[in-house]
Amino acid sequence: MHSPTFLWLTVLAAGPISAHASDSASDPSGLWKPFPAIYKIHSGIVSDRTPATANDRMLTVQVNGKPAQEIFNSIGSDAPEGCSGAKGDRERTKKGVLCTYTAQPGNPKNSHYRCWVGINLQTGDGDVRVSC
């Protein structure tokens, strides 16, 4: 049986593939959506510059904007305590997924919503290693 985080990764990985195909037959359900994302394979927390090691290999995918908002709205209620102490900021988390809502983004071009999906590549478990 696959973990929910593995299924997230499958969805994340397949999204850009379906965007390439303009043939509607490649997505008869119409549920696949392309989105911009970045990823990093690393060791330790995602903000470290530590390269992945044989014993510590993490995959972190970061999503912003409307896709992040959709994920944020899908993973339940706000965490009682988040990293930010700013008024109006919110955080939601489920196993390998962490999403934030920033009420006042520093740059007008920045999205209010940001999500990270973390996978421990050694175990396949969901593991978000984002620091406050």
- Residue 8, in any domain of the structure: yes
- Asked whether the beta carbons of 98 and 91 are under 8 A apart, the reply is yes
Number of neighbouring beta carbons within 10 Å of residue 115: 26
The rounded distance, in Å, linking the Cα atoms of 75 and 40 is: 23
- Residue 18, in any domain of the structure: yes
Structural domain that includes position 105: 4-23+34-120
pTM: 0.77
Sign of the CA dihedral running 118, 122, 125, 127: negative
- Residue 88, in any domain of the structure: yes
- Per residue in 76-125, pLDDT (tens digit) is 999 988 888 899 999 999 999 999 999 998 888 889 999 999 999 999 99
- Residue 129, in any domain of the structure: no
Which pLDDT value is given to residue 23? Answer: 57
**Strand 113-120 to 58-64 pairing:** antiparallel
- Residue 131, in any domain of the structure: no
The count of structural domains within the chain is 1
- Residue 130, in any domain of the structure: no
Assign 3-state DSSP to the chain and report helix, strand, coil percentages, each to 5. 25, 25, 55
- Residue 58, in any domain of the structure: yes
- Per residue in 24-39, pLDDT (tens digit) is 668 888 888 888 899 9
Tracing tokens 């037959």 back to the chain, one arrives at 25
pLDDT reading at 17 higher than 70: no
